[in-house]
Structure 1
Amino acid sequence: MLQSHLFRTFAVSASVGSLAWASCASAQDSSAGAELPPVEAVEVDYADTIIVLGSRRPDRTIADSPIPIDVIGSEALQNSGATETNRLLNNLVPSFNFPQPSLTDGTDSLRPATLRGLSPDQVLVLVNGKRRHMSSLLNLNGSIGRGSAAVDLNTLPSIAIEQIEVLRDGASSLYGSDAIAGVINVQLKKRQGGRAVASYGKYITTLRGVDQVASVAPTTGASDSPVITFTGEDRERNDGETYTIATNIGLPVGDSGYLNFTAEYKDRSPTNRSGPDPRRQYSGLGDPRETTLTRYNHRFGDGESKDFNFVVNAGTDIGDFELYYFGTYGVRDANGAGFYRRSLDARNADYANGGQPFYPDGFLPIIVSEIRDISGAVGVRGDVAGFNTDLSVVYGTNRLNYDVENSFNTSLGGLVSQRRFDAGGLRSGQTSINLDLQKNIELGFAQSVSLAFGGEYRDENYKIIPGEVQSYINGPFSFTNGAPGGAQVFPGFRPNNAIDASRDSIAGYVELDVDISDALNLQAAGRYESFSDFGDTVNGKLAARFEPIEGIALRGSVSTGFRAPGLAQQFFSTTSTNNVGGQLIEVGTFPVASPVAVALGSQPLDAEKSLNFGGGIAINLIEGLSLTADYYNIKIRDRITLTENLQGGDVVTILTTAGITGVTSARFFINGIDTKTQGLDIVGSYRVPDFGMGDIRLTVGYNISDTEITDRRVFSGFTAQRLFARQESFRLTDGQPKNKLNIGLDWDYGIFGLTARTNRFGEVFLPSGVSSPQRDDITVAPGDAPGDIFLSPKWVTDLELRIKPSEALELAFGANNLFDVYPDRLPFGTVDGVNFGLNNSFLPYSSQSPFGFSGRFLYGRVAVNF
C-alpha cells in the first residue's frame, strides 16, 4: 500500500513540477533575456564562500572566520553512491562518525551520528540557519549514543541540498542548547533549473571469516549440538538492492523570487551478514529437520526501508521585504530483525498446546518502524530602521509508530495470541519563534563592526502512545508457567508508560563581530536562556583571528555551552512484568520523577554544561591550496547517562522502605559523569593548476580525538561502578575511532569525471561481555579483562566514474567499499582460554564498526539536467 502510494505521490510531484517548469520556461523565453543558471553543481572557491554559520554578519567568508567551518558543496554530495546524508558526511568529514548498528530495535531504522566523539544530541542541526527538531526515538539498546535522541538527517535528500556547513566549535552562546560539539547547517537549494536522478545498486560481497555450511549431521544425544561440516570458503552475498528516484526543480517567482522543490523515493532491501548458527534447533532426538534447516536463520545487517522525502524552499519579495518558506515531509517504513527464537526455545512454547513449539521451525520477530517527519518554516526578512531583520516561525514533529510482526505473546498461548501487534509509538514536536537583528555600526578604533542581537521562544512536546493490550499484557501462562508477557522482541508501551509532557524556553543573545584591521578580527557573544523545567543558564564566547602575514592566520576561541536535558530523558519509560519464583515483578526504565527512581536517589535533571577551548592555524599561501589545523578541548559537567539496571537485595530494601513493592530492577537517567574530550582536526584542499589534464581537486582531512571520564556521581549507597559500569563507560570513551583520515580526489576531463575517496578508520575498543570479575570493574584498563576486543584500523575506498555524453545527460558507475573491507571477525567459542559463547558465531561483526559491516556496494546512476 505504502509503496504504491509513494509512487503515485512521486509521479504526481514530478508531473506537476514538469508542467510548472515547462510553463516557466515558456515565460522565460518571452522575457527580457532572462537566463537560468545551470543546474549542475558549480565548483567554486569555498574559501570565498559566504557563510551564515558562526557569525550573523552577512559578509563573513570561510577564509576570514575565526572558528573552523567546513563547507561541503552539492557536487561532493551528488558524486557518490551513498543514498543517506549521514553516510555522505561520514565519508567527507573526519570528525563525523556514523556507525550502522543492527539488532538495536528502532535504532536500526533511525541511526544516530556523532561529531568529535561526543553524543548525537550534543551537536545542533540547522536547516537554512533555523533549528531542526529532534527525532522521537531514544537510543537505548547498546549502540553509540546510548541514552540520546538525535536529528534524523536522512530525511534531507542530498539532491535538495546546496551545501552543508559544519562548524567545529562550541556555539551555545550563538544558537542555544545542543551546540556543544558544533553545529551542522544544511542549506537548501534556491537555484533555478532541474535535475532528475535514477540509481540502482546492490551489495556483491564476500563475508570475511564467515564459513559456508556444507552439511549438518543429525543429533544423537539429548543435549548435544549438531556436527556441522564447512566448505572452507567464505560466505558470499548479493543483497541490499537499493532503488532511488529523485527530482529537483527550481523555478523563478517574479523578478527575484524562487521556488525550489524536491521529491525522492528510495527503496532498500535488507541485507544479512549473519554467520551459521551452530546450536541445536530442535528438541527431538535425531530430528531430520536439524540437517535441512538453514543455519543462517538470523538477519543481521541493514533493515528494509522505503522512504519518501519531499522538500520545498521558496521566497518572494513583498515590497522591501522577503517572505520565505521552507518545509520537509518524510515517510519511512522500515523494519529491523530481532534475535531468532529456535524451535526448542521456551519463548516459542505454546502452553495452550502442551508446550509444543508455536512456530514449528522457530521464528524471527520483526520490529516495524513507521516514521513520519514533518517540518515547516515561514519568515520575513528585510531592513527595519537600518537593521537587517529576520522574523521566523519553525514547527517540526517526528512520529514513530512500532509494530511487531512474526511474533507472539507466549503468556497468552497460541489459541489467543496474535502474530502481529501494534506496540504503540513516540511523538516529538518543537515550535520555535526567532527574531534576529543585525547592523553594521561605527566604532572609531575599528575598521568595521557588526552588532547582532535577538531572541527566541521555543516550545517542545514529547508523547508516548500505548500499544494494544495484547502487545504488553501478561496472560494466564505468566502465572502458571512463568512465561514472559507482551509481544516478543518489543513489548508494547503500557497505559502507565503514556506521557504528554511539554516545556518552553525563552532566550536573548547579543553578538559583536569586529574587524580591528585587515589582520585582526574579534568576536564576542553572550546568551541568556530560561527553561520552564530546569531554570536559567548564561553562556558566552570569545573568538579571535590574527593574520600577521598574508596567507597565515592564527585563530582561537573560548566559550561556555550547555545542553538542556531532553524531554525523552526525563519522561521516557518502558516496563515489563516478569514472573520470578511465582511472583510478578516490574523491571524497566523509569522516569526521573517516578516514585521508583526517586526512592533510589534520582534528582531532577540539570543541563549539561561545557567549557570549550579551541585554537589553530589557517594557511592560504599558495593559490588553490588551503590548509587548517585546529586543536579542541571540551570539558563537560553533569553529562546525562542512563544508569545500569539497579537490582539486588539492597534495591528491594530501599523500595520496600519507601512503600514500593513488586519492583526488583530499575534504571533511569542521571547527571552521572564529567568528561574531557580533546583532539585535533587537520583539513586541507588543493586545486591543481591547469596543466592540460583537466580539473583536479585534492582533499584531505584528519581527526584525532580522545575522551576520558573525569568524575562520577554516587548516591544512595550505590557505587560508581553500579551506576555506570565498565562496558558503557568504555563505549562512551573508546567506542568510536580515536583517529580518522579522509583522502579525496576529484578529476574532470572533458566529458569524463572521476571521484575517489578513501577513509582510514582508527582502532575501536569493545569491552568484554564475558562473565568475569573484571567485566564490570571500571578500574580495569582496556585489554586487561578477559574477552576485551580491539577492532583494528581499516581502509575503506570508494570509486566513481562518470561520463557526460551531452550537457543534459550524465551516466555514473561506482563502488562503495571497492575492496570489500570488513571489520575484524569477532571470536566465538573458547579462544585462548576465554569462552566467548556462541552468539558471535552467527553475529560475526560488531555494530560499533565505524563504517558498518555490509561490504562492497556496486551502483549505477543516470542523471538528467534540464
Structure 2
Amino acid sequence: MRAYQTFSIPVPRRSISLLIGALFSSLVAPASAVYAQQAEIAAADTVIVTGTRSIKRTVSDSEAPIDILTSKDLQASGTGELGTALSRLLPSLNFPRPAVADGTSASRPAQLRGLSPDQTLVLVNGKRWHTTAIVNVNGTAGRGSSPADLNTIPISAIEKVEVLRDGAAAQYGSDAIAGVINIILKKGAAGGELQAGGGQYSKGDGTQGALSANFGSQLGDKGWVRFTAEQKYQGETNRAGADLRNPAEPLYGKVTQKQGDPKVQQTNLGLNGSLPLNNDLELYAFANVSQRDSDAAATWRTAYTSGTTLRTPLYPQGFLPNEAARNTDVSTVVGIKGRADGWRWDASANYGSNEFSLDVNNSVNLSLGAASPTSFYAGKLKNSQTLANFDAAKEFEFAGLANPLTLAVGAEYRRDQYEISAGEPNSYFGSGAQGFSGFQPSNAGSFNRHSTSVYANVEAELTKQLSASVAVRHENYSDFGSVTSGKLSGRFAVTPEFALRGAASNGFRAPSLAQQNYTISTTNLITINGTSQLVDTGTFGVATAAAKALGAKPLEAEKSRNYSLGAVLQPNKNVSLSVDAYQIDIDNRILYSGNLVLPAALQSVLAKQGVLVGAARYFTNALDSQTRGVDIVGTYQLSLTGSDKLGLTLGYNHNKTTVSHVAANPAVLAQNNLLLIDRQSLLRATDSAPKDKLTLSADYALNQWTARAQATRYGSFVSPQNNATLDQTYGANVVVDISASYRIGKWTLTGGIDNLGDKYPDQVTSTGNLNTGGTLPYSTFSPYGFNGRYFYAKAAYAW
C-alpha cells in the first residue's frame, strides 16, 4: 500500500509575485469589478463557524474569504432550489441545467471556482454531508464526478450558509480543495413560517409549485426542536428543434426530441433539535429525508435504422425512451457536546446515504424483437457514509498575546460504502433497453473502505494587529494509503479600516468508491468523425479485467496546493470591499476518460471476457492543472430619506485553469491508435465553465414594500471537441431578475420575473457538438440553462 506524505507547502516566488500582481490589478480595477453576494449586508461582527475553531472569529477578521448568505438572501433569490440560489448569489459558483444526461438531468452538480464539483466539501451544521450515488458520466459540466446533491436540502430549513472560498483539507479532510459550503439550519422553538408559491415559463411549460412549513416546538424545559416539511413539483420544459434529418421518417419535420428540465416531484422532511442535560452538557440531533421522482427524456430513436429498415415493429413511428428515476437521500446526525476544565468538546455519529433507482419506459430491447416489453427496471446505485467524530478546543492565556490562543484537536473514523444492484434481465439482455441498458449481474457488487484521521489547529492573535493560524491533519485510508495536509494563514490590520490576509495550504481528494468501481454497459451518443452515433459503450471499474486490458491502473488521491492573498477595506459599517487572488495547483486529477472507440482487435479481447461493446471508458489520474483567479467582494448600503433604504452590491469572479501535465497514454491504447485522455476530456475540465461572472443587484425597502433587481453577466464558455474546428464558443449574456414584496401583518406577498429579457444562449451550430440535426439546439454547459423567461408568485405567513 503506497503512502503519500504531502505536508510540505512550497510557495514558489513566481506564485507569490503573480498573486501580488493579480491583487494590485484588482484593487485598481474599475468599480464594475467589485463582488458582492447578498442583498442585505451581513454585519462585520457576525461570528463565523466555518474554517475556524475559535468562538469569536468574525467575518471582518477572518483570515480567509468567507461569504455569509442569510435565509432572507436565499429567499430573495426567487428560486426554490438551493443550488440555483447559491449560483445567483455567488459569482464563483456555476450551476448549469443539463438535459438529456440520464441521472445528471435531475441531480445537477455545482462547481466552485471552475473546479470539479467533487472538489468542494459540503457540510451541514459543520458535519460532513454525504455525496450522491449518481456518477456524472455524460458530456456535462462535472463529468466523472459524484458530488453532494445541494437540492436535497430545503431552503426553508436554512438559517444561513457560510461559504469558505479557500482550501481547507487540513481542517476538514478530503474534498475541500476549491472550498467549503457549510449549511446551518434554523434553531430554537420560537417562530415559524408557512409558504406557498408557483410559477411558469413564458413558453407555457415548466409549471412549478411548492408548499413548505418550518416551525419550532419546546422540548422539555430548555430544549427545542424544529421541523421542516416541503413538497415541490416541477413540470418539464422542452426547447428541442424539429427533426429534419431524414425525409423518409414518418415524423419528419416534427419535434420528436425533448431538451429541457425533467418532470420532478420532490418531498423533503427535516428536523433540528437540542436538549440541554445540565449547564455543561447538551444533546443534539438533526436529520433530513428527501425523495425525488423524476422523468427525463433520453435520445430519440428514429423509426428506421437506415434507409427504410424498420427499427422495431413496436414503434413504427420511432420512440423516445423515458428514464423514470427515484432519488432517496437520508442523513442523520446525533451528538453530545459540553464543557469540562475549560475544554469545549463535541462527540457525534453521522450517517448519510443516497440511493438512485431507475426504470426505463417507452423503450424496447431490440434483441427481443416484437416480444420485447416496453418498460424495464434498470437497477439501483447506493452510496453511504458513516462517521464517528470527536472535537475538543480550549483557550490558553500566554503572556504577550493580545488574546487567548485557541487550541483544537480531534479524531474521526469514516466508513464509505458503494453498491450497484442489477436490473431485471430484459433490461440488459443482448442490446439492452434503449435509452439506458440495465446494470448486469457482472456489474453488481458492494464496495467499502474505511479511514481514520487525527487533526490539530492553533489560532492566535499575536498582537492587536496580527493574527495567525496553523492546521495539520493526517488521514489513513484502507485502500490507497495515508495523506498529511497542512495550512498556514494570517491577517495583518494595517489600519483599523484596512487589512491584508493570506494563506498557503496543501490538500487532497480521495478517489470516490464510485470512481473506483462504477461499471455498466449502455448505449451512448458518441461523436465519431464529426457525426453523432449511438454506440454500445462500457464503463469499467479500474479493478475489472476489462479495464486492466485497456491499461487501467489503481486510482491515487488528488493532491493540491492552495495559495491566496487578499485585502479587506471597511471604512465604515455601510461600506466593505475585499479582494482575494488565488492559485490552486492540483496533481493527479481524476478524469473520466474519453470515448475509446475500440478497433476489432480490442473488441475481441473484451468479447473473450463476455463483454460486448464498441466503445469503452474508465477513470484515471489524468492530469496536473493550475487554476488562477480573483474574487472581489463589495457592498454599499445607504438610507435615502430615513424610512427607505437602498442596498447596492456588485460581484465579480474571474478564474482560468490550465493544464500543467498530462499522464502518459497506456501502451495498449497507443498500439491501437487510441488516446485515453483526449482533447475534449481535457478541455471539459478546464474550459467548459465561464471564466467570468459579474453580478449587480439593488435592494430597496420602504415601509411594507421591498423590491429587488439583479443583473448577472455570464461570461463566454466553450463546448470543446476532439476536432478543434468543431469547437463552439458561446457568447456572454446578461440575465436580469426582478421581484417585489408587500408585507401585510404576518403575511408577505411576492411576485417576480426571472430572466426578464427572455435571454437564451447561442444555439449549437455543429453536429460535432451533439446538435443531432438541430433536434438538440442548446448546449448543456449553459450556466443559466435555456428555458427563457419565468414568472412566479408566492405567499408566506410568519409568526
Q: Distance in 2 between matches of 1:123 and 1:605?
A: 19
Give the fraction of aligned pairs with identical amino acids, expressed as a percent.
40
Task: Determine if the alignment matches structure 1 residue 426 to structure 2 residue 377.
Answer: no
Aligned residues: 746
- Picking from 537, 551, 557, the partner of 1:601 is 551
Q: SS of 1:240's equivalent?
A: coil
Query: 2:690 matched to which residue of 1?
Result: 737
Following TM superposition, by how much is the alpha carbon of 1:845 offset from its aligned partner in structure 2, in angstroms? 1.1
- For structure 2, list consecutive stretches of 5 or more residues without a partner in the other structure: 1-37, 525-534
Matches within 5 A, 1:542-553: 542-553=488-499
Residue 51 of structure 2: which of 36, 51, 54 is its match?
54
- For the structure 1 residues 202 and 662, does the alpha-carbon distance in structure 2 shift closer, same or farther, using more than 3 Å as the test? closer
> Is 1:302 matched up with 2:252?
no
Name the counterpart of 1:536.
Answer: 482
The superposition leaves residues 63-119 of structure 1 with CA deviations (integer Å, 9 ceiling, x where unpaired) of: 110000000001111123212110001100010000100010110110100100000
Structure 2 CA distance for aligned equivalents of residues 68 and 642 of structure 1:
31
1:570 equivalenced with 2:516 (yes/no): yes
SS in structure 2 at match of 1:827 = coil
The letter for the 2-side match of 1:321 is L
For the residues of structure 1 that align with 2:94 and 2:44, how far apart are their CA atoms? 25
Distance 1:98 1:662 in 2: 36
Q: CA deviation at 1:45?
A: 3.7
**Could you say which residue in structure 2 is the equivalent of 1:406?**
362
What residue is the counterpart of 1:115 in the other structure? 112
1:156 CA drift (Å): 0.7
Equivalent position SS for 2:675:
helix
Q: Following TM superposition, by how much is the alpha carbon of 1:697 offset from its aligned partner in structure 2, in angstroms?
A: 1.5
Per the TM alignment, residue 281 of structure 1 is displaced from its structure 2 partner at its CA by 5.9
Distance 1:638 1:494 in 2: 31
Residue 673 of structure 2 corresponds to residue 726 of structure 1 = no
User: 1:17-75 CA distances to partner (integer Å, 9 max, x unpaired)?
Assistant: xxxxxxxxxxxxxxxxxxxxxxxx99674321111101011111111100000000011
Partner of 2:163: 166
Corresponding residue number in structure 1 for 2:505: 559
Work out the CA distance in 2 between the residues paired with 1:732 and 1:161.
32
Question: For 2:601 and 2:51, how far apart are their aligned partners in 1?
Answer: 48
Tell me if 1:453 matches 2:392.
no
Distance in 1, matches of 2:502 and 2:601, equals 49
Q: 1:699 aligns with which of 649, 657, 667?
A: 649
- Give distance in 2, aligned partners of 1:680 and 1:373: 35
Q: CA deviation at 1:664?
A: 6.0
Instruction: Return 116-125 or 722-731, whichever deviates more.
Output: 722-731
Q: CA deviation at 1:839?
A: 1.9
Q: Greater CA deviation, 540-549 or 615-624? A: 615-624
Match of 1:804 among 723, 732, 743: 743
Give how far 1:410 is off: 1.0
- Between 1:694-703 and 1:318-327, the stretch displaced more is 694-703
Partner of residue 302, structure 2: 342
What per-residue deviation string (whole Å, max 9, x for no partner) do you get for residues 763-788 of structure 1? 101224xxxxxx34xxxxxxxx3222
CA separation of 1:659 and 1:764: change in aligned 2, threshold 3 A:
closer
CA contact (8 A) 2:603 2:614 kept: no
Q: CA deviation at 1:661?
A: 8.3
Greater CA drift, 139-148 or 379-388: 379-388
What letter is aligned with 1:299? K
- Separation in 2, partners of 1:241, 1:648: 44
State the AA in 2 paired with 1:342: T
Counterpart among 329, 349, 359 of residue 289 in structure 2: 329
Q: Which residue identity is paired with 1:786?
A: T
TM-score (norm 2): 0.90
Pick aligned residue for 1:861 from 786, 794, 799 = 794
Q: Assess, with a 3 A threshold, how the Cα gap between structure 1 residues 837 and 441 changes in structure 2: closer, same or farther.
A: closer
Correspondence for 1:589: 539
Q: What is aligned with 1:219?
A: none
Residues 721 and 518 of structure 1, relative CA distance in 2, 3 Å threshold: farther
Q: 1:600 to 1:545 in 2, by over 3 A?
A: same
Q: Provide, for residues 173-194 of structure 1, a one-character-per-residue CA deviation record: whole Å limited to 9, x for no partner.
A: 0000000000000000014211
Letter in 1 for 2:204: N
Distance in structure 2 (CA, Å) of the matches to 1:750 and 1:699? 21
Classify 1:104/1:253 alpha carbon distance in 2 versus 1 (closer, same or farther; 3 Å). Answer: same
The whole-number CA distance in structure 2 between the counterparts of 1:42 and 1:635 is 33
- Return the index of the structure with the highest Cα Rg: 1
Deviation at 1:161, TM superposition (A): 0.4
Secondary structure of 1:618 counterpart: strand
Distance 1:202 1:679 in 2: 37
Question: Contact (CA 8 Å) 2:518, 2:540: kept in 1 or not?
Answer: yes
User: Contact 1:374–1:397 (CA<8 Å) still a contact in 2?
Assistant: yes
Give the whole-Å Cα distance in 2 for the aligned partners of 1:168 and 1:667: 33
| Counterpart position of 2:349 | 393
1:282 to partner: Cα distance: 4.3
Separation (CA, whole Å) in 1 of partners of 2:587 and 2:604? 28
Aligned residue in 2 for 1:790: 729
Matching residue within 446, 457, 461 for 1:515: 461
**2-structure distance, mates of 1:200, 1:657:** 53
For the Cα contact (< 8 Å) 2:435–2:523, is it kept in 1? no
Structure-2 separation of matches of 1:661 and 1:308: 39
Q: Secondary structure at the match of 1:620?
A: strand
> For structure 1, which segment, 338-347 or 444-453, has the greater mean C-alpha deviation from structure 2 after superposition?
338-347
Cα distance in 2 for residues equivalent to 1:610 and 1:651 = 39
Q: 1:73 to 1:451 in 2, by over 3 A?
A: same
Structure 2 Cα separation of the partners of residues 600 and 156 of structure 1: 40
**Structure 1 vs Structure 2 CA RMSD:** 2.4
Q: CA deviation at 1:828?
A: 5.4
Distance 1:653 1:619 in 2: 62
| Letter matched to residue 394 of structure 2 | K
What secondary structure, in the 3-state scheme, does the structure 1 residue paired with 2:572 have?
coil
Q: For the Cα contact (< 8 Å) 1:764–1:791, is it kept in 2? A: yes
User: Are residues 828 and 171 of structure 1, via their aligned partners in 2, closer, same or farther at CA, if it must alter by over 3 Å?
Assistant: closer
Measure the CA separation in 2 of the matches of 1:96 and 1:651: 44
Q: Which structure carries more relative contact order (alpha carbon 8 Å, separation 6+)?
A: 2
Structure 1 unaligned runs (5+)?
1-40, 205-236, 284-288, 475-484, 579-584, 769-774, 777-784, 830-834
Q: What secondary structure sits across from 2:171 in the alignment?
A: helix
1:90 pairs, out of 78, 87, 98, with: 87
Residues 688, 263 of structure 1: alpha-carbon distance in 2 compared, 3 angstrom cutoff: same
- One-letter code of the match for 2:262? G
Q: Secondary structure at the match of 1:159?
A: helix
The alpha-carbon deviation at position 257 of structure 1 amounts to 2.1
1:619 maps to 2:569: yes
Is the contact between residue 39 and residue 73 of structure 2 (CA under 8 Å) also seen in structure 1? Answer: no
- Shift of the 282–577 alpha-carbon distance from structure 1 to 2, 3 Å rule, reads closer
In structure 2, C-alpha distance between the alignment counterparts of 1:677 and 1:263, rounded to whole Å: 40
User: What are the within-5 Å matches in structure 2 for residues 193-272 of structure 1?
Assistant: 193-204=191-202, 237-272=203-238
CA contact (8 A) 1:651 1:664 kept: no
Q: What displacement does 1:757 show?
A: 1.2
Q: Which residue in 2 is equivalent to 1:130?
A: 127
Q: Distance in 1 between matches of 2:609 and 2:352?
A: 42
Match for 1:418: what amino acid? P
Q: Residue 845 of structure 1 corresponds to which residue in structure 2?
A: 778
The amino acid of 1:537's aligned partner reads V
For the 8 Å contact 1:331–1:372, the answer to whether it is kept is yes
